[in-house]
Amino acid sequence: MQGELTLALFVLQRFTLFTSIKEYYVDYVIHWTFCSLPSGPLHFGSLIAALGSYLRAHSQNGQWLVRMEDLDPPREVKGASDDILKTLAAYGLHWHGKVLYQSQRYQAYQDCIEQLLTHQQAYYCQCTRKMIQTTGGIYNGYCGRLAIPHQQGAIRMRNHAKIDQFIDLNHGKVTVSASFAAEDFIIKRSDGLYAYQLAVVLDDAFQGITEVVRGSDLLEASCRQISLYNMLNLPNPQWLHLPLACEKKGLKLSKQNHAPAIDIKAPQQSLLAALSFLNQPAVDIDDVDIMLKQAVEQFSLQRIPKQTEIILPNCPPQ
């Protein structure tokens, strides 16, 4: 209990500046963010996430921020970050402020991890995926119970929060299994790369994000992130998960699946297709800035489809 109290005090001190800024944002400015892994060009699925979050932010007179999730160098493609930003600009999706690159935030992630380790709120784990699969696929906390703890390996968070449900603005009450919710999850990989869960929570806090809008493939992961927000004593954002564009059931459009890049020379048709996918009213074909202005004015949260995925009838728009 003393360790938890000390950690809570540390987190409060660490984020004192953030907390005061956050209170200001709640009163006056609402922040959304679009995040992208720079592993290739934007495709139609990426456009849906970008457009959905952009419309939601601007319809609430908020700010729309862009974050590059460049945490995984082996998967990144040289020049992809610049290409993504050029594509967003070509589609009229202009962001507020500076782009945040997660590769420039390593020290913040490491500082947090070191404090968690110091206060025994995280621990090293050497269990392989194969070992975890033999015990049912959910990690059982074995390395966290060792009398002599490991001093290297992946780093897991001691999951005291065990959040198993939350309210999504599109899906309502979302619940995950108790075993998944209680699992001690990885916050730094054994190869030294920082885990997505930790990075996005710290960056959301750093940027003052008040609402997360993204694809429904991250519905379950939201519970782990909410657990982290709670354990780090950080304010929780609201959540809005959009349906995924899929080629077939369970196969979303992705860079990994070689989804074609959207056309930056004639973006109007792709914008219309993305609006239709989100079940938003059609807009007049015009300059993209004028189209987006009309789309923002007509945006309706209630019209967004409730499905977690929608199979595209034809090849994805480009």
Quote the pLDDT of residue 317.
63
Q: What is the pLDDT of residue 6?
A: 30
- Helix then strand then coil, in percent of the chain rounded to 5, is 45, 20, 40
Identify the pLDDT of residue 316: 58
pLDDT at 20: 25
Q: pLDDT tens digits for 148-207?
A: 999 999 999 999 999 999 999 999 999 999 999 999 999 999 999 999 999 999 999 999
Question: Which stretches within 165-287 are classed as H helix?
Answer: 178-182, 196-207, 219-231, 268-277
Q: Mean pLDDT, to the nearest integer, of 260-276? A: 93
DSSP one-letter code for 261: B
Mean pLDDT across the chain? 87
Residues 134-141, mean pLDDT to the nearest whole number:
93
Average pLDDT of the residues in 76-87: 88
User: Starting from the edge strand earliest in sequence, which strands make up the sheet with 31-36, in order?
Assistant: 31-36, 63-68, 100-101
**DSSP secondary structure string for all residues of 19-49:** HHHHHHHHHH--EEEEEE-SSS--BHHHHHH
| Strand ranges across the sheet with 244-248 | 251-252, 244-248, 309-311
Q: Look up the CATH superfamily of 2-104+199-311.
A: HUPs (3.40.50.620)
Q: 188 with 216: CB under 8 angstroms?
A: no
pLDDT of 11 higher than 60: no
Counting every residue written for the chain, the total comes to 318
**215: closest CA among 2, 6, 51, 64?**
51
DSSP count for the chain of H helices, then E strands: 11, 13
User: Max Cα separation, the chain?
Assistant: 67
When pLDDT is cut at 50, 70 and 90, the band that residue 14 belongs to is very low
Mean pLDDT, residues 269-288 taken together? 96
Q: What is the pLDDT of residue 298?
A: 97
Handedness of CA 250, 253, 254, 255 (dihedral sign): positive
Query: What percentage of the chain exceeds 90 in pLDDT?
Result: 74
Would you list the domain boundaries of the chain? 2-104+199-311
